[in-house]
Structure 1
Amino acid sequence: MRTQVGIIGAGPAGLFLARLLQLAGIDSVVLENRGREYVEKRVRAGILEQGTVDVLREIGVGERMNREGIEHAGTQLRFDGETHHIDFQELTGRKVMVYGQQEVVKDLIAQRIADDLPLHFSVSEVELHDLAGTTPRITYTDADGSPQSLECDYIAGCDGFHGVSRSFIPDGHLTAYDRTYPFAWFGILANARPSSKELIYTHSPHGFALHSLRSDHVVRNYLQVSPGFDPATMSDEQIWDEFDRRMATADGTFAINRGEITEKLVSTMRSWVITPMRYERLLLAGDAAHIVPPTGAKGMNLAVADVVVLAEGITRALQSGDESGLDSYSDVVLRRVWRCEHFSWWMTSMLHRFPPDHPEGDDFGLQMQLSQLRYVTTSEAAMRSLAENYVGLPLDYFR
């Protein structure tokens, strides 16, 4: 088989890239090692930056988001039992959209299938060959167990942190920056009425808590826990009780709405970046090249920002022979990556309680957090900085 761009991974990065290339007249084949049902059901992030919303609309895949997504013009920070509102719309003129990552993936898959374009699920034994040549290849075994070979002009590794693409870059070519945090997130999905029209980020003596929503009858909530936490150690009632304890207000009026918990998941917290994001004819995008802690709601949005730049670079290279966009790809997108890494680290460090044996876990560290929280909720300049980063800097900001 032959295509212009072989895309490994049918997550947001791979599917957005495939759609952008399609609209530019570039052929691609998307390969995914998981089945379609798994890909469409895995629950991930739910906050879309303004730029991501704009891209979905521009590529013609925003109809269901426009109908079912929930616009948020602000968020809430709660500490010392008091709630403080950060008004995104007033501070930046921009908003975010609550629309689950899995819903975006469903929409992109449905569009590609409707367009009768190649999207292969449940492939295995994926290997990359001849990356330094002009016609790199991807070999794999398809869902029927038959060996396949796909010749490409370029290969896009969009297969996430645990994907295989990055492993085919020779040793010594990549530099990795890594930080693992001393806590994790215990997330639940529940059939319950949201307790707030906006997300609530809570700093409490008992640890961080986040209340978010997916619709008017489904919530997605998180508790800070220790790494290795076992969800089986808490009953559903104990989970709800802990949300009430952490999110309590000084006047005692707040109680979280309860309902049937349908999913429980523990996620590690880490910051990780590799550079460069290109090796010869292999380009990396999304979680294959960088991970952010979820506190800043940046993961999928960074993937979209990556592939907007990447699609332009590939299109120019294939249509006019100009590889300057691919030569600068890594440097350009990493400017945004590091901005988002900093914002996510800052939000994480400000809102989570560090363990006592951590350098930031003493009383001094706690007072530093509270001082920062008071500043960011009373200074218009500080609020604007938080809002600007949260809604997302324009996609052309770092060009």
Structure 2
Amino acid sequence: MRTQVAIVGAGPAGLLLSHLLHLEGIESIVLESRSRAEIEATIRAGVLEQGSMDILNEAGVGARMRKEGALHHGIELAFGGRRHRIDLSGLTGKAITVYPQHEVIIDLVAARIAAGGQLLFEASDVAIAGIDGVRPTVSFMHDGQARRIEADFVIGCDGFHGVSRPMIPAGVRQDFQRTYPFGWFGILVESAPSSDELIYARHARGFALVSTRSPTVQRLYFQCDPRDHVDNWSDDRIWAELHARLESDDGWRLKEGRIFQKNIIGMRSFVCAPMRSGRLFLAGDAAHIVPPTGAKGMNLAISDVKLLSRALQAYYRGGSEEALDRYSGEALRRIWRAEFFSWWMTRLLHTFEDASPFDRQVQLAELENIVSSTALSTALAENYVGAF
């Protein structure tokens, strides 16, 4: 098989890149180890920055997002029994949309299939070779047959555990990583919204988050031990914990409902640099992971793809590799700002076991400082909506 761009991984990064290239007349083939049903059913939260919304709309895949996504103009910080609104739109002129990642994937898969794109699901034994030459290859098994793609470029969008990143030589690649001593216990609940906007709560018992998934489904999280197990948490225990961490002095109360999903996710920060080796480029989770507190994961993937698609367009239009040479550096500047913001939000809102009484009081003082200062609230809002 021959194509211009071989893409490994059918997450938001790989699918969006394939579609953006298609709109510019550039051919691609996307390989994915899972089935279509699996990737469309893997439920993950999603907060889209204004810039990400714009890219999806410009690519013609934003109709359902506009119709079904929850457009939010602010968020709330809750601590000390009070809630404080950060006016995202008033401070930055921009908003965010809560639209789950798997819904973005459903939209992108439909768009690629409608356009006749080549999506090869359930591809196994994927191996990349020849990235230092002009014709790298991707070999794999599909439908019981050994197959091989020859391409001009290979783009690794296959996540943290994929085969792409290890292709960058250890002597060239530097990995930066931090693992946090806590995780998030997440639940999906059948109920009406408890709040019109996301609530980020700092409490002595640990962090909690309220997020609206739809008019009838809510997503709630609370800080937990990452080694814990969902079977240790009855519904009654979950609700007692969430009520303790979230309720405020003004009488606001969390709405309960039927819990139909429980899971625990770990928390880590990770960056791989550089994001290129020869004709291999990385994008999305293959190159970086952020804790979800800053709501940057999918947005960084979309940002990577925007840069990379433009660089590939420049190459195929005029033969220039200048933008491809700049890709890693430009992407990493954006990534490190998002890593900082996600780390900062995590540190600001979570309870650390080794924190002293002094540390805890300073944490509260920092929150008070943010909500009482227009300048500091603006800095938080700018980072949250991606205004950089």
TM-score range, shorter chain: over 0.9
Deviation at 1:254, TM superposition (A): 2.3
Counterpart-to-counterpart distance in 2, 1:45 and 1:297:
9
Look up the match of 1:84. 84
* Structure-2 separation of matches of 1:13 and 1:265: 24
Match for residue 173 of structure 2?
174
C-alpha contact (below 8 Å) 1:45/1:299 kept by paired residues: no
d(CA) in 2 for partners of 1:204, 1:115: 49
Return the alpha-carbon distance in structure 2 between the equivalents of residues 81 and 122 of structure 1.
49
User: CA contact under 8 A between 1:12 and 1:304: conserved in structure 2?
Assistant: yes
Aligned to 2:215: 216
CA distance in 2 between counterparts of 1:199 and 1:153 reads 43
Counterpart in the other structure of 1:233 = 232
- Summarize deviations over 1:122-160 as a string: whole Å, max 9, x none: 110000011101000000001x11110000000000011
Q: Which digits, 9 at most, give the CA deviation of each residue in 1:102-140, with x for residues without a partner?
A: 101000000111111100111100000111010000000
Q: Are the equivalent residues in 1 in contact too, given 2:168–2:276 (CA < 8 A)? A: no
2:384 maps to 1:383: no
Letter in 1 for 2:101: Q
Amino acid at match of 1:208: F
Q: Please give the alpha-carbon distance, in whole angstroms, between the structure 2 residues aligned to 1:77 and 1:170.
A: 43
State how far apart, in whole Å, the 2-side matches of 1:45 and 1:234 are.
Answer: 21
Aligned residue identity for 1:145: G
Aligned: 1:290 with 2:283: no
Residue type matched to 1:293 in 2?
P
Contact 1:9–1:32 (CA<8 Å) still a contact in 2? Answer: yes
| Equivalent residue number for residue 280 of structure 1 | 278
Residue in 1 aligned with 2:137? 137
8 A Cα contact 1:212 1:220, kept in partner: yes
Q: Which amino acid aligns with 1:324?
A: E
1:292-335 residue CA offsets vs partner (Å, 9 max, x unmatched): 00000000000000010001111212232110111010000111
Q: Which amino acid aligns with 2:2?
A: R
| Structure 1 equivalent of residue 198 of structure 2 | 199
Quick check: 1:161–1:288 contact (8 Å CA) kept in 2? yes
For residues 255-296 of structure 1, the C-alpha deviation after alignment (integer angstroms, 9 at most, x for no partner) is: 211111121111111111010000000000010000000000
Residue 189 of structure 2: aligned partner: 190
Distance (whole Å) between structure 2 residues aligned to residue 90 and residue 227 of structure 1: 37
1:1-399 matches, cutoff 5 A: 1-142=1-142, 144-251=143-250, 253-355=251-353, 358=354, 361-393=355-387, 397=388
Alpha-carbon separation, structure 1, partners of 2:349 and 2:360: 10
Work out the CA distance in 1 between the residues paired with 2:339 and 2:204: 26
The question of whether the paired residues in 2 share the 8 Å contact of 1:45 and 1:300 is answered with no
Instruction: Tell me the number of residue pairs that the alignment of Structure 1 and Structure 2 aligns.
Output: 388
Deviations for 1:63-84, whole angstroms, at most 9, x for unmatched residues? 1111111110000000000000
1:176 is displaced (CA, Å) by 0.8
- What is the TM-score of this pair, normalised by structure 2? 0.99
Q: How far off its partner does 1:205 sit? A: 1.1
Alpha-carbon distance, 1:241 to partner: 1.4
What amino acid maps onto 2:342 in structure 1? Answer: S
Secondary structure of 1:10 counterpart:
coil
Shift of 1:250: 2.2
Structure 1 consecutive aligned stretches of length 4 or more whose deviation exceeds 2 Å: none
Q: Distance in 1 between matches of 2:227 and 2:144?
A: 36
Q: TM-score, normalised by structure 1?
A: 0.96
The 2-side partners of 1:352 and 1:171 are apart by 34
Task: Give 2:35's aligned amino acid.
Answer: G
Q: Aligned partners of 2:64, 2:385: CA distance in 1, in Å?
A: 21
State the Cα deviation string for residues 221-257 of structure 1 (Å, max 9, x = none).
Answer: 1010012111110101211111101102124x12211
**Per-residue deviation, 1:171:** 2.2
2-structure distance, mates of 1:33, 1:164 = 11
Provide the rounded CA distance (Å) in 2 between the counterparts of 1:383 and 1:121: 44
Where in structure 1 are there 5+ consecutive unaligned residues?
none
Contact 1:137 1:150 in 2 (8 A): yes
Identity percentage of aligned residues: 50
Residues of 2 paired with 1:167 and 1:35: CA distance? Answer: 24
Contact residue 46 and residue 214 of structure 1 kept, 8 A: no
Which segments of 5 or more consecutive residues in structure 2 lack a partner in the other structure?
A: none
1:170, distance to aligned residue in structure 2 (A):
2.0
Report which stretch shifted further, 373-382 or 260-269. Answer: 260-269
| 1:162-209 Cα deviation digits (max 9, x unpaired) | 111112222211001111111111111111111000000000111000
TM-aligned CA deviation for residue 45 of structure 1: 2.6
Structure 2 distance, partners of 1:169, 1:90, is 44
